[in-house]
Structures are given as C-alpha cells and as structure tokens.
Amino acid sequence: MICEFGKKVPCGIWMFFLAAALLVGAPVAHAKEASTTVDSNFVRAKLQLLRQQRRYESAIEYLDYLKQQKRLPEDYQHRFDYEQAISLMGQAKISDELSLATATLSTAADQLELFIKDQPGSSLVVNAHAVLVQSLDSMADKVMQQWDDQKLEITPAQRVELHGQAIELYARAEKVCEAALAELKKRLLAMRDGDVDLNLRESYRKGYLKYQSASAMIPMKLAKLYPDSEKERGEHLQRAMARFERLRKKYPTLLIGQCATFYAGRCQQQLGHLTEALKLYRTAIDLPAEAPLVRPYITLAYYYALKLPEATLGGADRKAMIQQAKAWIDQARPAEQRKANWILLQRAITPAKEETKE
C-alpha cells in the first residue's frame, strides 16, 4: 500500500517512524510539543504504547514533564492523578520487591482518592473507584505475603504491625466499595428517564454488580486475619454471609449470584454451621455445568463438601457424593485438568475411592 505525503512512500516506513517518534523519549517528543499543549490523541497513543511495553516509569515521567511545562491537553489536566495512578499500579505489579510494590500502590491509592475528591462529576470516577479498590486490595494482599513469608526475618512487633496494616487496607477498600455503590446507584437512577446512553448505562449496571461482589468478598478476607476464637472473625463472616445471601437470592441466574452460593457455603462452614454449609454446597453443585465461569465453583463445592465431617456428610450420602465427584472429574475439560481446584478435588477423592472399594 502507498501513502501520499509529499511523495509516495511505503506505509510500513511511516509506521516505523511513528513508533520511533513515540518512544525515543524527551528530545523528539518535546520537539513535537513545541510551546503549546500537546494533542490529546498523541498523549493517549504514547501512554498506551509505554504501558504496553511495561515502561510505566517512563509514562509517569512523561506526564510529569508535560505538566511542569504546562503542555498537558485540557482533558489530561483534569485526569492527571487518575492517569498517574494507572501507571503506578502497573509499576507495582511488575515489582519483585514486596515493600517497594506496597509503597507504590499506596501512592497510587492516594492519587486516586485525590482524583475522586477533585473531580466528582467526571465520567472516570466510576473507573477510579474500581482501580482504587483493586489497589487497596492488592496492597493488603502484599502486606499479608510479607506477614506469611517465613523466609523474611520479621520480629513479633513487625508482624503485628503488618497485620494491622492489612486490616486497615481491607477496611479502607470496603469503604471505597460503599462509596462506589452509592455513586453508581445515583447515576443509574438519573438515567431512568429520557434519552440515555444505553452502553454507558450497561457499564454502570455491570459496575454495580461487580462492587456488590467485592463488598461481600472483603469482609471474608478480613475474617482470615483473625484466629477462629476471636469475636471479630465471626462478625466479619456474618457480614460477608449476609451479603452473599442477598446476592444469590437477588441474582440467581447471573454469575455473581451463582458464585455467591458457594461463598455463602464457605462462610457457613467457617462459622461452624455445617448443615447449612452442606445445603449450599449441594445447591452450588447443581448449578448449570455448561457455563465455563461457574464450573470452578462447582468443583470447589464438591471439595469443601467432602471436607465436612462424617457427622454432617457420612454413610451412603458421602459415598454417593464421592461417585458424583469422580464423574465430575472424568468430565473435566482439557484446560481444567491442570487447574488447582480440580487437582485438589482429585486428591480429596483418591483416599475416599479406596475406602469405598474396601
């Protein structure tokens, strides 16, 4: 193919020069920027390319430079903190050092909170809430990795401090979920009448479902941070269970409600309500097996049901469930056979199969 630009030159050559101009760094980029603001599409393309190449630090420095030189496009002036936070999230994800990754995620979370506060009417606020929840949740997970890592020489005092940090981060993420749900509910109600952007409304609806699920998962994670005997553990599990129950009853045909059935069973099991847990696991096992995203939860429902004591699931009922689980394993799709949950179930039913033969 041939492009016209003064004279005919192969398109591939122009594409090469375009990529080079985006990546060579400050001298070429800043020459293009001249003394006025940079074209928004150019900034977007450069940021996208840098992030695709995992050059997150370069993406951060590029926006910082444009801001210092007062050359940021108008739309990026409003979303500066949001864009920087996205790059910081990527930088934390590729970091091998837990403490550095945690500090980077903390900076990202601060910038997202600043963006939400300063730009409450922005269409990106919904996305900012989602990224903020992800950032806080990832920070808490990384803190707990440090807490669990036996190779690290951590004093008892440092262990207590890390435990407290994780609790604080999960609690902060839960508050963000609540704020996001309130914001989405307000926006969805405002779109009930008149001409509306159907795609936007659908994205808000999906976001509302996602935040409800996250809101239920966070107290379940918080519960893991306490010993079985602690009062706080039971309180967090009760909150999580109530939310999962609401989801499974409100959205029985959607993935969010079907997954909630399994998680409600886990909460009941951890609370010691074993009969109720078994009922929920049986319900999860009976979910539509054709749906690829539901199948892992069916597998886990079998696994945790067979972990219940003989007093709850014993005799003929246990033998029948073992046979069901074996048949389920035999139906595993090629990609599923290597998944951790399927391997766990296989290991769980192996000794049980030997017992039934005896």
Q: Number of folded domains in the chain?
A: 1
- What pLDDT digit, counting tens, does each position of 153-169 carry? 778 888 788 888 888 88
Tokens of 46: 């450069």
Q: What is the mean pLDDT of residues 296-325?
A: 95
- Distance, in Å, from the CA atom of 86 to the CA atom of 54, rounded to the nearest integer, reads 12
> Are the beta carbons of 263 and 232 closer than 8 angstroms?
no
| 124-150 mean pLDDT | 80
Q: Is residue 53 part of a domain?
A: yes
What's residue 351's pLDDT? 62
- Provide, rounded to the nearest whole percent, the portion of the chain with pLDDT above 90: 40
Q: Cβ distance 140 to 163 under 8 Å?
A: no
15 Cα distance to chain centroid? 35
Q: Which of 122-126, 164-168, 203-207 has the lowest mean pLDDT?
A: 122-126
Radius of gyration for the alpha carbons in the chain, expressed in angstroms and rounded:
26
Calpha distance 32→284 (Å, rounded): 58
Residue 7 pLDDT > 70: no
Any domain includes 331 = no
Residue 188 lies in a domain: no
Token code pair at residue 1: 């193919």
Using alpha carbons only, what angle is made at residue 337 by residues 334 and 339, rounded to the nearest 5 degrees? 120
Give the ranges where the chain is alpha helix by DSSP (H). Answer: 11-23, 26-33, 40-52, 56-68, 74-78, 80-93, 98-118, 125-148, 156-190, 198-223, 231-250, 255-271, 274-285, 295-306, 315-330, 340-357
Instruction: Measure CA 343 to chain center.
Output: 24
In a domain, 223, yes or no: no
Helix (H) or strand (E) holding 7: strand 7-10
The CA-CA-CA angle for residues 273, 239, 205, to 5°, reads: 120
Highest mean pLDDT among 95-109, 222-236, 306-320: 306-320
Tens digits of per-residue pLDDT, 252-294? 999 999 999 999 999 999 999 999 999 999 999 999 998 899 9
Residue 27 reports pLDDT greater than 60? no
- Report residue 47 as tokens: 């940021």
3-state DSSP assignment of residue 313: coil
Task: Report the phi/psi class of residue 137: left, alpha or beta, with left for phi > 0 and alpha for psi in -120 to 50.
Answer: alpha
Give the closest residue to 264 by CA, choosing from 304, 231, 230, 296: 304
Q: Report the C-alpha gap between 352 and 302 in whole angstroms.
A: 13
pLDDT in tens, 56-73: 999 999 999 999 988 888
Q: What is the pTM of this model?
A: 0.76
- The residue segments making up the domain with residue 14 are 1-78
Q: CA-based angle 318:322:325, to the nearest 5?
A: 135
What does the pLDDT average to over 347-354?
68
- Residue 152 pLDDT level (bands cut at 50, 70, 90): low
Res 14: pLDDT: 43
Residue for token digits 């994670």? Answer: 221
- Token pair listed for 224: 């893991």
Examine residue 138 and state whether it is found in any structural domain, yes or no. no
Identify whether 356 is part of a domain.
no
In a domain, 55, yes or no: yes
Mean pLDDT of the chain: 84
User: What is the Cα–Cα distance from 88 to 133, expressed in whole angstroms?
Assistant: 14
Helix (H) or strand (E) run with residue 9 in it:
strand 7-10
pLDDT at 156: 80
Q: What pLDDT score does 117 carry?
A: 87
Q: Does 32 map to a domain?
A: yes
**Nearest one of 42, 36, 52 to 21, comparing CA atoms:** 42
